[in-house]
Amino acid sequence: MILLEEALAVIREKQREGKIHRTPTLRSESLSRIAGGEVYLKLEALQKTGSFKIRGAYFAMYKYIREGYREFVTASSGNHAQGVAYAAQLHGVKATVVMPETTPWLKVKKTQDYGAAVVLHGESYYEAEIEARKLATGGARFLHAYDDYYVISGQATLGVEVVEDLPDVDVVVVPVGGGGLISGVAYAVKKARPSAKVIGVQASGAPAVYLSLKEGRPVVIERVDTIADGIAVKKPGDITMKMIQEYVDDVVLVDENEIVDALYLLLERTRVVAEGAGAVSVAALMTGKVNVRGKKAVAVISGGNIDAPILMRVLMKALARQRRVVKLVGEVPDRPGTLAKASSLLAAHNVNILEVYHERYDPEQRPNYVRLVFVVEVPGTLDMSKLLDELERHAFYFSVEKS
């Protein structure tokens, strides 16, 4: 059963101590304009450890410690690992986290920095989980990332805060992986405001809960593939599926490009750094897959732990999709000064060159010409056709490569 009142008391005590944040719910003018309603962001990306996971991990440990456990074992390659490690630090107990051998070093180090012991095992989360369950013997407790009533009770405190901040909220949009967060949030929201709709969002590359609801039975996905790695789960939990069926109104899917656009909008318009999983709620609002026109809605930004190289690739992908960064590919005469001349023509139109390279050895290439590629940042006022025409007048035959 969900112990909402007890979880709320426990989490609020830690919030008063500054150990867990009471994260803000802020209005987004940009999203409100795009979605046609009043859109607010529940910024759990600003939470301790960078995600909502500390809520469930801390309360679950609080309860299990009172049942006699002093050591915890879990499996994770991401936010749950850091949540468990930090919760164990706060409680003064031991935590061991089993992570796949492919886990990026930075995530391993962050987990260790919070005081947990890290064991690297297997190539996937599921191999790591098998090992973690083997280690959870002799008085140690295995702590599941989402399929645990105590964990769900802790996550439910986020839902309470949403309704406290917006008592007349109409729609709450929540990222969904294994279902722990949305189970808790939906339970809390429906208890306080039964008329509110709770909508889940999954990545189309990891649609386990979506398919399970459609099929009316648990569906296991063989392969997940998404930038939203925090919700890349192959199967929903038994507990969470029952709660989703009871309390959640709908679950929708967003694709990778839609997630990229949402990440970019959050960064550029709201100055919020979100991870892929944390941005799927915004993607659903931007695309209208969750219709909030004329309504008051909250998008839960569940986490902000995105690696810098991934963030860089996301930004470049978003700029390319908006045609703010384009690739110019063409033929130019193969003689000294050609590159300088082409570059000066681009500069005259305030085009910023990000990358340039050329290829002389294409067997299809005319012998007195060279293939030249510019990756450029273009001003919003640029008429690309006029630029291409001017380049052609100088015997530079360029076209814009499709992204």
The DSSP bridge pattern shows strands 94-99 and 117-120 to be: parallel
The residue annotated as part of the active site, out of 183, 212, 281, 302, is 302
Is 233 within 8 Å of 271 (Cβ atoms)?
Answer: no
Is 64 within 8 Å of 142 (Cβ atoms)?
Answer: no
129-142 burial, b at 16+ Cβ within 10 Å, e below that, comes to: bebbeebbeeebbb
Query: Reading across the β-sheet that carries 71-75, which strands appear in turn?
Result: 117-120, 94-99, 71-75, 140-142
SS3 sequence of the chain? CCCHHHHHHHHHHHHHCCCCCCCCEEECHHHHHHHCCEEEEEEHHHCHHHECHHHHHHHHHHHHHHCCCCEEEEECCCHHHHHHHHHHHHHCCEEEEEECCCCCHHHHHHHHHCCCEEEECCCCHHHHHHHHHHHCCCCEEECCCCCCHHHHHHHHHHHHHHHHHCCCCCEEEEECCCCHHHHHHHHHHHHHCCCCEEEEEEECCCCHHHHHHHHCCCCCCCCCCCCCHHHCCCCCCHHHHHHHHHHCCEEEEECHHHHHHHHHHHHHHHCCCCCHHHHHHHHHHHCCCCCCCCCEEEEEECECCCCHHHHHHHHHHHHHHCCCEEEEEEEEECCCCHHHHHHHHHHHCCCEEEEEEEECCCCCCCCCEEEEEEEEECCCCCCHHHHHHHHHHCCCEEEEECC
The residue annotated as part of the active site, out of 42, 53, 197, 317, is 53
CA dihedral 316, 123, 115, 156 (to 10 degrees): 70
Residue type at 374 in one-letter notation = F
Annotated active-site residue 302? The verdict is yes
- Tokens matching residue 330: 């063409």
Work out the end-to-end distance of the chain between its first and last CA atoms, rounded to an integer number of angstroms. 50
Catalytic positions, written as ranges: 53, 302
